[in-house]
Each structure stands twice: as structure tokens, then as C-alpha cells.
């Protein structure tokens, strides 16, 4: 009596249609004709082109990145109320970046908020448009888009805001996502008037109401739009490589801007 090649203690008369090795019911995988063993199925799947998102990322069924960022925002906001020093340690503060080498502030500021309305608006916006962009770009590209947009807002603030002026909020990243939705919509020939109106309204609010960091909003909008354009319009041939170059180039540009600005602040101090 032949036994399964993977389970020698199980007798079987069924053989893999591809390699003809005996397989037990636990190892049988449905094939076009008969059954195949797990190894032959895996080997056959290597030649099958895997499904990709609209712009080359992996298929996203659950937007886990969006949900993770939302959870982090809420947890940090709760920590701000429990520990007063959290805000000061994580906020974007040009003097802290340049004089104290606290470069983490360039990113951590995107997870700190100044009040309930502030975090509610940013989290609502992320909840609405985050899943759409995450499914369009895939997890990794969406993370890059979000963080580089946030970093773009902080870098513009580093250049223009007073060195002793702290700022907080994910608005730079959110504006970057707004710009990305507009770019993606144009690429896919969709009606982008709604997102265009939303961007204009929020820009008006940015410049009309006091105590709003316009540098963070504009910096995030610019970086998010440019990076989304590079990702969406990358040539299909070697698209992943072109997108990686675009992400790496954006990071290098921002790092250079930070280094130049920090050197200038140190020279003036």
C-alpha cells in the first residue's frame, strides 16, 4: 500500500497529477484534472501574474495603514492629556530641530494635536480618503505618501516659521492626501471638482483664521501632490523602480533642505 510522501503514516492510492507522488486527503489540492500536491501548486503559481493595485502596489483588502495611523493619533492625543510634556517633546519646533538635534520632531509633530476639534477633523479626513488612496497605491506607497507629506509640511515650517514657534498636527499629511486625491482623480479621468473645492475651502480657512500653520498645510500639499504625481504617472515598464526612485528622491530633497536650513540657523545663533 503506497503512503503519502508528506505523511508516511497515511495510506493512499491518489497521486499528484503533476509529479505523480502519492498524496493523502490533507495534501490534495484541486486542479483542473484530479489533484496536485502543495509543492506542485506552489510551483505552478510562480508563473501566474499576481494582481496589483491601480498604481502597482499589492492588493489592499483592509486599509490597515490608515487604521493604524488613526489609532496612533488617538493614543498620542490621550497621552497629551495624561502627560503635559508629551506635546512639547513631539511638536515641530525649529529651534529644537536645529539647536538640540531633535530631528524626530519633523515627523512626530504629525501625531500631536492641539485640541479635540483639531484631531477630529484630521482623523475624519484620514478616515474618508485614506482607504481610497491606500487601495490605489498599496500599503508601502501609501505610508511613503503620508509620511513624506507630513515631512514636507515640517520642512517648510523649518524654513519659514519663527525658530521659537512650535506647531502640531497631521494637517500637513492630510493636505498631502488631498493633493494626492486630486492627482489620482485627474490620472483616472474622474470628476475632481469636489476635492478641488475642498482644498480651496481649507486653504481659505488656513489663511483667514489665526493660529493655523499655513506652512505645514502648503508644504504637505506640495509634497503630497508631487509625490502622488510621480507614483501615478510612473512608466508601466519598471514602474516599481521608478516609484522607488521618486520616493527616494523626495526624501533626499527634504533631507538636503533640512541640512541647509539647520546650518543657516546655527550660523545665525
Q: What is the spatial distance between Cα 256 and Cα 148, in angstroms, rounded to a whole number?
A: 14
Number of C-alpha atoms within 13 angstroms, CB side, residue 247?
18
**171: annotated active-site residue:** yes
* Grid cell of 155 as nine digits: 520642512
Q: Write down the catalytic residue from 114, 149, 154, 171.
A: 171
Are 109 and 169 a contacting pair, CB within 8 Å?
A: yes
* Direct distance between the N- and C-terminal alpha carbons of the chain, in angstroms, rounded to an integer: 86
Q: Write down the catalytic residue from 217, 225, 263, 269.
A: 217
Q: What is the spatial distance between Cα 79 and Cα 21, in angstroms, rounded to a whole number?
A: 59
**225: annotated active-site residue:** no
SS3 265: helix
User: Which residues are the active-site residues?
Assistant: 171, 217
Amino acid at each position: 500500500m503506497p503512503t503519502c510522501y508528506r505523511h508516511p503514516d497515511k495510506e493512499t492510492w491518489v497521486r499528484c497529477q503533476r509529479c505523480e507522488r502519492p498524496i493523502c486527503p490533507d495534501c490534495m489540492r484541486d486542479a483542473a484534472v484530479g489533484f496536485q500536491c502543495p509543492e506542485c501548486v506552489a510551483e505552478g503559481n510562480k508563473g501566474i501574474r499576481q494582481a496589483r493595485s491601480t498604481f502597482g502596489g499589492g492588493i489592499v483588502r483592509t486599509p490597515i495603514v490608515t487604521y493604524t495611523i488613526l489609532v496612533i493619533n488617538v493614543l498620542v492625543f490621550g497621552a497629551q492629556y495624561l502627560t503635559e510634556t508629551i506635546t512639547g517633546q513631539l511638536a515641530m519646533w525649529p529651534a529644537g530641530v536645529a539647536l538640540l538635534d531633535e530631528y524626530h520632531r519633523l515627523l512626530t509633530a504629525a501625531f500631536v494635536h492641539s485640541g479635540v476639534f483639531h484631531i477630529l477633523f484630521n482623523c475624519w479626513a484620514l478616515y474618508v480618503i485614506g482607504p481610497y488612496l491606500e487601495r490605489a497605491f498599496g500599503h508601502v506607497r501609501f505610508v511613503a505618501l503620508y509620511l513624506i507629506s507630513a515631512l514636507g509640511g515640517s520642512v517648510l515650517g523649518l524654513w519659514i516659521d519663527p525658530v521659537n514657534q512650535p506647531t502640531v498636527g497631521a494637517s500637513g499629511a492630510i493636505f498631502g492626501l488631498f493633493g494626492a486625491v486630486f492627482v489620482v482623480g485627474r490620472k483616472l479621468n474622474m470628476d475632481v471638482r469636489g476635492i478641488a473645492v475642498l482644498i480651496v475651502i481649507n486653504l481659505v480657512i488656513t489663511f483667514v483664521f489665526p493660529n493655523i500653520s499655513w506652512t505645514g498645510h502648503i508644504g504637505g500639499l506640495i509634497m503630497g501632490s508631487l509625490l502622488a504625481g510621480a507614483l501615478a504617472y510612473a512608466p508601466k515598464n519598471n514602474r516599481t523602480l521608478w516609484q522607488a526612485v521618486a520616493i527616494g528622491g523626495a526624501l533626499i530633497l527634504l533631507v538636503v533642505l533640512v541640512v541647509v536650513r539647520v546650518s543657516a540657523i546655527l550660523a545665525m545663533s
